[in-house]
Structure 1
Amino acid sequence: MNDLDGLRAALRQPPGEPFAEPDLARIMRDGTRLRRRRRVLTGTAGIAAAAAVVLVVVFAIQLRQPAPAPVAQPPAPVSVTPAPTPTTSRAPAVPAIGDVVGTGIRTPAGEIVLYAQAVDIPELPNVRFGLAAGFRSGESLQAVLLSNETRGSDLSFGFHATDGGEVIRDTLIPVFGYFSGRAARITTTVHGKTVDAHLATWTADATVVIFWFDPAEVPNSAVLTPLIAYDADGKRLTK
């Protein structure tokens, strides 16, 4: 007998203990329990999967939806200092002493005028006024040149504060001055020709005469010869 025949003989022999009859009911219960578990697990997995799908879908929908507009934050309070009201600063006009004398010379800035102004010079205690040349336009009066005595008294006999003959604001200011004394005529000589000045009595003091020359005849003070004053009788008052 070979090994194969021995194996066949062993298989034909009955077992030492008979096998119990299978419990079909228990097997079915166990099988049902296993199937239900799997079903629960499958159901849970399915629910989980469905939930995952829903979450994915919802998340996808959220991704597809436009992002909400950012909430506008109120601007931070800013301290603003109001701009100051623009103002025009102008030196206060010094009032004229006595009447303003018009020269009759018209310019774009107004008529050239002459008038006395008060001055305060500690070094010259006896000089209390000077003669200003300026422009008058309507009610506006603006001085552009002021001349005064530089020694002694402003009312000592003779000529004082002779000035002018220069261009200011594109305008030639006439040669002007004043004479302390009762002059009725004032002259000078320009290139051998006698030229008379225009005269006006100062209303603040009748013994003072304001004078000026026509710029066409006396363009500047450099061409002047010594000024000469005459009284009403034609008598020369100055040497």
Structure 2
Amino acid sequence: MNDLDDFRAALRQPPGEPFAEPDLARIMADGTRLRRRRRLLTGTAGIAAAAAVVLVVVLAIQLRQPVSAPVAQPPSPAPAVSTTSAAPPAEQPIGDVIGTGIRTQSGELVFYARAVDAPELPDIRFGLVAGFRSGTSLQSVLATNEVRGSDRSFGFHATDGGEVIRDQLIPVFGYFAGPAAKITTTVHGQTVEAHLAKWTADPKVVIFWFDPAAVPDSAVLTPLVAYDTDGKRLTR
């Protein structure tokens, strides 16, 4: 018998111990774990490869992107220089300024005439202003003028005042066109005479005002009455 015959005879002999049946459940579980491990390794490798590709692309873009040239900034604007325009000239009185002797913190209370230029009032060329005079400066406070007919038609015109402006009671004032030598009113039954001053630009115009203590406002006035030098009543 040769070696081949001995090998064949050994294969035909039964084993000393019977083989156990294969554990199919364990074999399948081991195979599943092996497949999962392969999938995990494959996924990790894919992610690593993708990250490497992205990194290479980013680096390539950065290398190819030209360096941005510095942008020229606009020159800074020159600092604004504050300029002060000359104050407008003070209102030029027509004729002399009339002092009242009433002293206030803003100066002496005065009256003066001013020019009026309104297309809707073709026959009104002047009006009156109550204001304060301090030294050579004038500060207007209240202006009034006729609004109907002519500014020099016979009679009383532009009566105003009797109100507090800038903490100062402005006297009731106005003017009379005509030869008035005396102007009166009645307050609470008492006759009150006005102060008078002829307008130097036209002596036929007489500017008048009442003492604020005697005539505090125009509401207490009765109709004004003008008299000539002979005491003759000029108005009804």
TM-score (norm 1): 0.65
Inter-partner Cα distance in structure 1 for 2:123 and 2:135: 34
Q: Which blocks of at least 5 consecutive residues in structure 1 are unaligned?
A: 1-75
**Deviation digits for residues 21-59 of structure 1, max 9, x if unmatched?**
xxxxxxxxxxxxxxxxxxxxxxxxxxxxxxxxxxxxxxx
Give the superposition deviation at 1:88. 6.8
d(CA) in 2 for partners of 1:175, 1:88? 37
Alignment match of 2:180 (pick from 180, 183, 203): 183
SS of the residue corresponding to residue 152 of structure 2 reads coil
Q: How far apart in 2 are the matches of 1:128 and 1:150?
A: 11
Following superposition, the deviation at residue 89 of structure 1 comes to 6.8
Out of 133, 140, 159, the position equivalent to 2:156 is 159
Match of 1:114 in 2: 111
Shift of 1:83: 3.7
**1:200 partnered with 2:194:** no
Task: Determine whether 1:213 maps to 2:192.
Answer: no
Q: Larger deviation: 88-97 or 188-197?
A: 88-97
Q: CA deviation at 1:142?
A: 1.3
**1:104 aligned partner:** 101
Kindly provide the amino acid, as one letter, of the partner of residue 179 in structure 2: R
**Structure 1 equivalent of residue 144 of structure 2:** 147
Cα distance in structure 1, aligned partners of 2:98 and 2:215:
19
After superposition, what is the alpha-carbon deviation per residue over 1:88-107, rounded to whole angstroms, capped at 9, x for unaligned? 77554221000000011100
- Against the structure 1 CA distance between its residues 89 and 222, is the aligned structure 2 distance closer, same or farther, given a 3 Å change threshold? farther
- Cα distance between partner residues in 2 of 1:112 and 1:169: 12
Runs of 5+ unmatched residues, structure 2: 1-72
Secondary structure at 1:194 match in 2: strand
**Following superposition of structure 1 onto structure 2, how do residues 1-239 of structure 1 map, counting pairs within 5 Å?**
79=76, 81-85=78-82, 87=84, 90-239=87-236
What amino acid is aligned across from residue 199 of structure 2 in structure 1? W
String of CA shifts for 1:125-175, please: whole Å, max 9, x gaps: 000000000110001101111100010000000000000011111101110
Q: How many angstroms apart in 1 are the aligned matches of 2:127 and 2:87?
A: 21
Instruction: Indicate the SS of the match to 1:222.
Output: helix
In structure 2, relative to structure 1, the CA distance for the partners of 1:87 and 1:177 (3 Å cut) is: same
Paired amino acid for 1:227:
L
| Aligned alpha-carbon RMSD (Å) | 1.7
Structure 1 residue 123: Cα displacement: 1.1
Compared with structure 1, are the counterparts of its residues 236 and 221 closer, same or farther at alpha carbon in structure 2 (3 Å cutoff)? same
Tell me the SS of whatever aligns to 1:187.
strand
1:82 Cα deviation from its structure 2 partner: 3.1
**How far has the Cα of 1:124 moved from its partner?**
1.1
Per the normalisation by structure 2, the TM-score is: 0.66
> Structure 2: which amino acid aligns with 1:180?
A
Per-residue CA deviation, residues 72-122 of structure 1 (Å, 9 max, x unaligned), is xxxx99735334335377554221000000011100001110000001111
CA distance in 2, matches of 1:81, 1:159: 60
Distance 2:127 2:100 in 1: 17
**2 CA distance for matches of 1:131 and 1:84?**
41
Matched residue type, 2:110:
V
